[in-house]
Amino acid sequence: MFPHDVHLQIGSLLFDDIDQIDLTGPFEVLSRIPNSTYRIYGKTARPVRDIKGLKLTPDASLAEAPPLDVLHVPGGFGQEALMEDEDVLGWIRQQASGACSIFSVCTGALLCGAAGLLKGRRATTHWASFHLLPSFGAIPVNERVVVDGSYVFAAGVTAGIDGALRLAAELRGDDVAQAIQLYMAYAPEPPFNSGTPETAPPAILRQARQSVRGMTERREATARRIAARLGVA
């Protein structure tokens, strides 16, 4: 935990075809951390659209970002287009080298992996890409939130809220995190127990896997190339 009089610079990466709740779920938490500045950074300052068309606008470009204390890397289908984008990967590496906390949500973990940050780390990601983590040298852990030193990994999509609350507790203490959770009235009671591959009905799981099959195959091919580049067996 950091003293409350230490100001924190918190920044999130934004890109085309992001899964917006990977960004906006944690935003609800991170933007409320006391004595901090929260900003969103894109490759350029132009607006982008999430995978369903929601328009989102960065506060500034990557080049304009100060050294961050907390780096938040979301995921979504648009992550695949950045896996070999050295401008973005270099920025992630540079920011992570000085940050006190690195927080990935969903397939944001794969971007961290492509930047070479997952070797030897316990990590998680979205269920459809979980099997790719070893390609980046990570130790896959099938949990909703995984903490490994200064890294916090949240699994798929809505897990970003849980991860952000865990991160808020790490940064400012449990009382602050619980107060944020209360303000958000975050007490989920989903109508179905279908939120993981282990609990979803088999027919629903088969349908879901089929719907992302094309993207999964592209991610697998990219993971193989990056594993070779990183020297991961």
Please report where in the chains the tokens 């719907």 appear, as a residue. 211
3 state DSSP class of 49: strand
Q: Is 112 a catalytic residue?
A: no
Question: Which residues are CB-contacts of 111 (< 8 A; sequence separation ≥ 6)?
Answer: 13, 73, 75, 79, 82, 83, 88, 89, 92, 104
Q: How far apart are CA 35 and CA 13, in angstroms?
A: 21
CA nearest to 9, candidates 100, 104, 108, 111: 100
Choose, from 13, 106, 165, 167, the residue flagged as catalytic: 106
Burial of 162 (0-12, 13-18, 19+ CB in 10 A): buried
Catalytically active residues are: 106
